[in-house]
Amino acid sequence: MEVSALAIHPVKSTAIRHLERAEVRPWGLAGDRRWMVVDDGGTLVTAREVHELFSITADTPETEPEAGTALRLSADGHEPIDVVEPDTAPIPVRLHRHDLVARPAEETASAWVRKVLGRDDLTLVWCDDPERRSLNPAYGRPGDHTAFADGYPVTLTSLDSLARLNEWMVEDALQRGEEPEPPLPIERFRANVVVRGAEPFAEDDWHRLRIGAVAFRKAKLIDRCVMTTISLVDLTTAKEPIRTLARHRQWDHNTWFGIQLIPETTGPIEVGDPVVLE
């Protein structure tokens, strides 16, 4: 079993940025989800509500070493903008059920985001200290932290599980007398680490693993939401994969695909690294 892809999302809900190599920090992959967009009330805004977030490309030194800035934002039809790490006073923000604090970006950066997304109530904010946010004690330990991930530092999916999901989609569509939808790409699930070479959904039962020289433990499975139904090509929505997951992968009132990981050591991981269960 090996790593087939690595990715980060420098601004939460923006375009996926693939990497050949990533540095694992205690709070996640370096450069991953340190920024997010909030509304005037400080509440996270995601592509669930504003699909156009997927059209924004966010680069960091991890994805564009020559960028020379903490963050570079670009979108079709708009001039790119370079953004520095702000030293503004922290403001209260809310990420799902978590009350946090974050530093607002410079006004020119937030104005750029507002223009691209067509909303005048948005602010770009930065997590200056990922160690400020602890994990759910049901799965995390004292000293476990993350930045603006939904819940845990690293997400992992399997190409083998995706292949089985795509098979189910075809089988179920034919049973309904419908034309099957095209196979889903793994990017729909926005994982940091994608692996191949395991049995489908074997990851459900993993507990500890090592990627290259870096050790992780599994926190929990990932419950999936409607964001996975948004096309990354044209931003339209469909019923898949939630419809098929609801038939084959639903329990405890949720649909499940992939796992959440917590780093136990730090260091580099690369595409092609072996994945070893412990």
Average pLDDT over residues 230-239: 94
Q: Is residue 197 part of a domain?
A: no
Give the pLDDT score at 1: 98
Average pLDDT over residues 77-103: 97
Record the tokens describing residue 270, joined without a space. Answer: 């690369």
pLDDT digits (tens, 9 = 90+) for 201-231: 999 999 999 999 999 999 999 999 999 999 9
Q: What is the pTM of this model?
A: 0.97
Cα–Cα distance measured from residue 121 to residue 49, given in angstroms and rounded to the nearest whole number: 14
Give the pLDDT score at 43: 99
Record the tokens describing residue 214, joined without a space. Answer: 């870096």
First-to-last alpha carbon distance for the chain, in angstroms, is 13
Record the tokens describing residue 233, joined without a space. Answer: 């090509």
Closest-CA residue to 235 (of 73, 113, 52): 52
Instruction: Specify the DSSP element, H or E, that contains 242.
Output: helix 242-248
Q: What is the mean pLDDT of the chain?
A: 97
Q: Strands across the sheet with 71-75, in order?
A: 57-59, 71-75, 78-83
Whether omega for the bond prior to residue 241 falls within 30 degrees of 0, making it cis, is yes
Record the tokens describing residue 86, joined without a space. Answer: 């702000």
Q: Is residue 91 part of a domain?
A: yes
Question: What's the structural domain count of the chain?
Answer: 1
Q: Is residue 78 part of a domain?
A: yes
3-class secondary structure, 34: coil
Give the pLDDT score at 205: 98
Q: Is residue 275 part of a domain?
A: no
Percent pLDDT > 70 in the chain is 100
Give the pLDDT score at 69: 87
Record the tokens describing residue 108, joined without a space. Answer: 């020119």
Instruction: Find the domain containing 53 and state its range.
Output: 34-129
Given a cut of 80, is residue 271 above it in pLDDT? Answer: yes
Taking the CA atoms of the chain, what radius of gyration do you get in angstroms? Answer: 19
Q: Is residue 135 part of a domain?
A: no
Question: How do 193-196 and 154-158 pair as beta strands?
Answer: parallel
Quickly list DSSP for 99-164.
Answer: EEEEEEPPHHHHHHHHHHHT-SS-EEEE-S-GGGSBPPTTT--TT-B-SSSSSSSEEEEEHHHHHH
pLDDT digits (tens, 9 = 90+) for 153-202: 999 999 999 999 999 999 999 999 999 999 999 999 999 999 999 999 99
Average pLDDT over residues 66-89: 95
Record the tokens describing residue 76, joined without a space. Answer: 């079709």
Query: Which band of pLDDT confidence, cut at 50, 70 and 90, is reported for residue 85?
Result: very high
Q: Is residue 56 part of a domain?
A: yes
Q: Is residue 67 part of a domain?
A: yes
Q: Is residue 61 part of a domain?
A: yes
Give the pLDDT score at 65: 87
Closest-CA residue to 117 (of 78, 156, 63, 149): 78
